[in-house]
A and B are shown apart, each in its own frame.
Chain A
């Protein structure tokens, strides 16, 4: 979607190295989310942000940290990548919280940890 971009699209990294994924939006939406997608599981929430410098944990946050220094950027960091973090990562944005707001997703980042 033109309003949200993720980078990089693909990355291969070695176990134990730090990795940062970037999500950039041009919609000025307040809420941003990081999800991971794995076979046999639905999308699972890692972290989300409800404003600049305001973030909270999702259901699978262990091993991940996030930062949001500007409205448009939401960074996901794997401090020390492990093979269990091999996944496809999706960023999403919403204008508000709850069921009245639609989601816009990025194109995903395929991360392989070897």
Chain B
């Protein structure tokens, strides 16, 4: 069964460093998403991406964040200068279209020290 793959499963970084979280969506999907979950809190929407551009972003998704689909298969989330409060589980998801089921990856746990 096709699945969304995220790497790495756990990323440890120092405050102020840049990190790139990687996702390989399901191959025929056109819509891509990033969510995050701070420990003990809700899963929060960060950004949606379609046709090589951001469709929508939340208030959390400030100038420190960016997304890219560099090669037609990977979908990346970059945090330019990490802060302690960026420590969270980051989930990537993809769907065939709007209103259709979103399939999630297993997540990347980001720990900022």
Q: Do A and B bind each other?
A: no
Could you tell me which B residues sit within 8 Å of A by CB distance? none
Could you tell me which A residues sit within 8 Å of B by CB distance? none
